[in-house]
Structure 1
């Protein structure tokens, strides 16, 4: 099966044929994959080289002319390094575009800490007006990208090598979906965390919500699930910085007695880079680690 990044390349290449206002801006990453599309659309597939501030600025400049730019590189080079350009060139100028990242929090540990971006969603959360998609399967990534391509807003699509075995129907406007219903609490699984959350909560009397669009946050869906339970406690399991959505979950339940536990990537830098699966386990995001913390939190 192809990866989310593979699917992004094939889908975006096809969209270039279908949508004349669409453009793809690269900073060397995935340039080989887009080579056929660049030959077909040399004026709408632009590789600026390893110049990430220029990458974002060029995309925003295209948006000012009425184009719909898809701006792509690794998450650390798309959100963190050129953050000022994301804030000013897109946000301050109030233009739309699609940022599509790869490599997630620690997908390529051999690349070192420079290629890790567990704080990308939290950083983008400091800005107004961004829709954030975190697909858990290549099919979901394709559906969300196609939906974003037809709009005019600011969208961040976070791709990863981590993925669930099964795709689920997704839409940026549909909110969180109910995967399992229970009475003792609510667990929100974001994107590629769903399979591990389902394994971790097997046999537990909890509701599991699946989130592929985390901004805007589906406050009503969380409130509905928590209100139907015997307590309104919520666990948010995210594939990036732990606690990124805890405040949003708390605000959704502010007039109900509740507790919120945010699980995700810790702040400590893991200097023995190892493999992606080892990072997952070290951060307690494997089924065993999740079950221990979820049961400990929800225990009466």
Structure 2
């Protein structure tokens, strides 16, 4: 199966053909995938070199000229390094763009901590009016990329990963999907962690919601799921910084007595970089660890009742 990033250049290249407003801005990373498209659209595929602040500034300039810029590099260089430009060039000026990242939290462990970005969504969450898509499968990435580019002049972040669930679900760029229903609590699985969550909750009497669009946060779906359960206990399993969405869940349930457990990537830097699977295990995001953590939080009532 191809990866989400494998889909990125072909999908956006087709969008360049279809929509004269679309432009792509790169900072060396990913330029080879756009080599042919750059020849076909030399005025709308721009490589600024290893200059990430300029990457964002150039995207904002295109937006000021009425274009729909798609800005791409690793998450650490797209959100963290040029954060001031995102805040001012797009936020302060009220401009729209589509940021498309690669690398996720630890997709390239050999690159070291400089190429890891577990805090990207939490950092963007300090700014207003960003839509954040976290696809869990290449097919979903294609759908959400098209949603993002078509979203008028909105500010959209699409977080691509080499991690993937085994199958795609019909995502719509807005709502959480109910994947499993239960009565003892609600588990929200974000993006590529759905398979791990489904394995971890096998045999547990819980509702599993699948989230590929985390901002805006689908509080209505969470409230509905909690209303159908016997306990307002919520676990959020995210492929980035643990606790990133606990505030959003608390806000959605402000008038309901509830508990929220946020699981995700920890704050401690893991200096023995290893493999992706080792990072998942070290952060407690593999199925076995999740089973223990979710079961411990929800207690015995989460066990499926047998006749």
Q: How does 1:211-230 map to 2 (within 5 A)?
A: 211-230=211-230
What are the superposed Cα offsets for residues 122-146 of structure 1, whole Å, 9 maximum, x if unpaired? 0000000100000000000000111
Q: Which residue of structure 1 aligns with residue 173 of structure 2?
A: 172
The match for 1:23 is: 23
How far apart, CA to CA, are the structure 2 residues paired with 1:44 and 1:133? 24
* 1:126 paired residue number: 126
Instruction: Choose 281-290 or 144-153, whichever is displaced more.
Output: 144-153
Where does residue 303 of structure 2 map in the other structure?
A: none
Structure 2 Cα separation of the partners of residues 142 and 19 of structure 1:
16
Residue 273 of structure 1, CA deviation: 0.5
Q: Which residue of 1 aligns with 2:86?
A: 86
User: Could you tell me how far apart the structure 2 residues matched to 1:240 and 1:177 are?
Assistant: 20
Deviation at 1:107, TM superposition (A): 0.3
Alpha-carbon separation, structure 1, partners of 2:50 and 2:256 = 49
* Whole-angstrom CA distance in 1 between matches of 2:189 and 2:26: 31
Q: CA deviation at 1:150?
A: 1.5
SS of the residue 2:31 aligns to = coil
| CA distance, structure 2, for counterparts of residue 231 and residue 185 of structure 1 | 6
2:45 counterpart of 1:45: yes
Partner of 1:60: 60
1:32 match: secondary structure: helix
Any unmatched runs of 5+ in structure 2? Answer: 301-307
Match of 1:247 in 2: 247
State the Cα distance separating 1:148 from its structure 2 match: 1.3
Give the Å deviation of 1:147. Answer: 1.3
Q: How does 1:131-142 map to 2 (within 5 A)?
A: 131-142=131-142
- Describe the superposition over 1:115-172 as per-residue Cα deviations: whole angstroms up to 9, x where unpaired: 0000000000000010000000000000011111112100000000111000000111
1:158 maps to 159
1:166-205 deviation digits (Å, cap 9, x = unpaired): 00001113x1010000000000000001000000000100
Equivalences for residues 274-293 of structure 1 within 5 A? 274-293=274-293
Give the whole-Å Cα distance in 1 for the aligned partners of 2:30 and 2:213: 24
Q: Deviations over 1:80-102 (max 9, x none)?
A: 00000000000000010100000
Superposed CA deviations along residues 230-277 of structure 1, whole A, max 9, x for unmatched, are 001000000000000001111111111110000000000000010111
Aligned position for 2:96: 96
2:32 is paired with a residue of what secondary structure? coil
TM-score, normalising length: structure 1: 0.99
Say how many residue pairs are matched. Answer: 299
Q: Does 1:269 align with 2:299?
A: no
SS in 2 for 1:262: strand
* Secondary structure in structure 2 of the residue aligned to 1:183: coil
Aligned residue number for residue 110 of structure 1: 110
Unpaired runs of 5+ in structure 1? Answer: none
Distance in 2 separating the partners of 1:113 and 1:160: 16
Q: Which moved more, 1:141-150 or 1:179-188?
A: 141-150
State how far apart, in whole Å, the 2-side matches of 1:36 and 1:277 are. 35
